[in-house]
Amino acid sequence: MAGIPLVYSLRNLAVRRTSTTLTALGIGAVAWVFIFTLALAGGFEAALRTTGSPKNAIVVRSGAASELMSIVSREGASSIMAQPEIARAADGSPFAASELVVIWNLERNSGSTTNVIVRGVSPHSLALREKAKLHAGRMFRPGLNEIVVGKLVSERFKQCALDDKIKLAGREWSVVGILDAAGSAYDSEVWGDVELFMPVFDRPVFQNVTLRLDDPTHFEALKKRLEADPRYSLQVRREDEFYAAQSGMMATFLRGLGLFVTTIMALGAVFGALNTMYASVASRTKEIGTLLALGFSRGAVMTSVLVESVALCLVGGAIGCLLALPVRSFTTGTMSFATFSELAFRFDVTPMMMVSGLVFAALMGLVGGFFPARRAAMMPITEAVRQA
């Protein structure tokens, strides 16, 4: 069975230039929305997913889904520090940090306010977070009214640039450093000395103890021992899993919204593609009749029309992908329900998402081309050839 050359399908698209461009742009916009919503949910999840490390464990109060709901007493923290599964720092001390987490209302550059996580950290805190690096300035000095802020906090909030002074809990603090945590949640946090924060924020307890395991396989042993201790009612989680689980509701909402919008929108665009392809077939009645008369099979004609439709939508998909690239530089913030505070994140456009966008476009082409293709293939030759 001879096939109709690919060139034939492509030439038809080139001939109907205006129509091809308009339809392709329309499909492109749908692909763009598809990638946009994927990137939105993906960026949010990635921020939380990359926050934790599989090498670390985090200890919180049993039942606490986020640090905010957690309480770890000083005694509890000391008992955790004494566990044998904790790696050693260079100075021989346990490679672990007891931390305080509060949320504080800060003013955005736009003037509105939102909650931001303020974390009281220990000397090992920064080293424990391998992704977080000091990006500018220096680390705060313990005991002084100094803080370092995440990069996205610095960009998005008032008085959070390097060397600015900001009021928290009735005191004025100097911003002495900017943290770059590679897009993870720490980019949306403010860090200061935990031993100073506890009296200032009037908090007698820690929220978590984060520790480096000497060997990731020792996690279960540590978990078993600590969770069995009746004095403290603690819960041990792998740090990466703990943060990833916090994306739950918001990520579900963002994904749900994306799926809802793109599915329905795709249906609308497919209707448009159907119109275009029906018109394309109708205007070529005689030509298709001739092809059939020449001996091309109905299958070949159908394939040819389908190829045309898929090619049309792929052009659109490619446009959508190209236009989605600049989306990567967008940063947005939304509330993380787990911590009740703002989590800023970058849209995450991955190659996988772009491929999905293309596949999505091709799928629209297949659906939008199917019925017109079938119509072309079923054309009665005699009538078709006679048509004007």
Partner 1 sequence: MKYLGYITAHLWRHKRRTFLTVSSIAIALFLFCTLRTVMTSFDAALRASADTRLVVRHAASLVFPLPLSYRDRLAQIDGITGVSYGNWFGGVYQDPKNNFAQFAVEVPTFVKLFPEVEMPPDQVSAFQAERTSCIVGATLAAKYGWKLGDVVPIQGTIYPGEYRFTVRGIYKGKTADVDENTLYFHWDYLNEAMPAVRKDWVGIYWLEIPNGDMAADVSGRVDALYANSSQPTKTETEKAFQASFISMMGNVSLLMTILGSAILFAILLVTINTMMMAARERSTEIAVLKTIGFSDGLVLRLVGAEAILVSVTGGTLGCVAAWLIFQRVDFTAGGMFPNFTVMPQTVGLGIVIAIAMGLVSGLVPALQAGRLRIATALRKVA
Q: Which residues bind partner 1 (CB under 8 A)?
A: 18-19, 22-23, 25-30, 32-33, 36-37, 40, 63, 65, 68-69, 102-105, 108, 112-115, 169-170, 201-202, 248-249, 252-253, 256-257, 260-261, 264-265, 267-269, 271-276, 278-279, 283, 332-335, 340, 342
CA distance 265 to 341: 32
If the CB atoms of residues 63 and 351 are measured against partner 1, the closer one turns out to be 63
Take residue 258 and report the two structure tokens written for it. Answer: 């994306």
CB of 25 to partner 1, least distance (A): 5
| Both tokens assigned to 360 | 């999505």
> Distance between alpha carbon 50 and the CA centroid of its chain, in Å?
10
Residue 127 or 279: the one with the smaller Cβ distance to partner 1 is 279
**Which one, 96 or 311, has the nearer CB to partner 1?**
311
Compute the least distance from the CB of residue 255 to partner 1, in Å: 11
Residue 170 vs 230, nearer CB to partner 1: 170
Structure tokens at 204: 């007698």
Indicate the residue among 62 and 382 with the shorter CB distance to partner 1.
Answer: 62
Least Å distance between CB 30 and partner 1? 5
Tell me whether residue 137 or residue 333 sits nearer to partner 1 (CB atom): 333
Q: How far is the CB of 285 from partner 1 (least distance, A)?
A: 13
CB of 2 to partner 1, least distance (A): 31
Written in H, E and C, the secondary structure of the chain is CCCCCHHHHHHHHHHCHHHHHHHHHHHHHHHHHHHHHHHHHHHHHHHHHCCCCCCEEEEEECCCCCHHHCCECHHHHHHHHCCCCECECCCCCECEEEEEEEEEEEEECCCCEEEEEEEEECCCHHHHCCCCEEEEECCCCCCCCEEEEEHHHHHHECCCCCCCEEEECCEEEEEEEEEECCCCHHHHEEEEEHHHHHHHCCCCCECEEEEEECCHHHHHHHHHHHHHCCCCCEEEEEHHHHHHHHHHHHHHHHHHHHHHHHHHHHHHHHHHHHHHHHHHHHCCHHHHHHHHHHCCCHHHHHHHHHHHHHHHHHHHHHHHHHHHHHHHHCEEEEEECCCCEEEEEECCCCHHHHHHHHHHHHHHHHHHHHHHHHHHHCCCHHHHHHCC
Residue 279 in tokens: 């018109």
CB of 52 to partner 1, least distance (A): 20
Q: How far is the CB of 283 from partner 1 (least distance, A)?
A: 8
Per-residue tokens: 75: 């005694």
CB 7, min distance to partner 1, A = 24
The residue (of 293 and 335) whose beta carbon lies closer to partner 1 is 335
Instruction: Look up residue 160 and give its two tokens.
Output: 């959070």
Query: Measured from the CB of residue 208, what is the shortest distance to partner 1 in angstroms?
Result: 16
Cβ closest to partner 1, residue 134 vs residue 370? 370
State which residue, 20 or 53, has the beta carbon closest to partner 1. 20
Least separation, in Å, of the C-beta of 37 and partner 1?
7
User: How many Cα atoms are found within 13 Å in the side-chain-facing hemisphere of 143?
Assistant: 0
User: What is the CB neighbour count within 10 angstroms for residue 133?
Assistant: 12
Q: Token pair 């000083």 is at which residue? A: 74
CB closer to partner 1 out of 213 and 344: 344
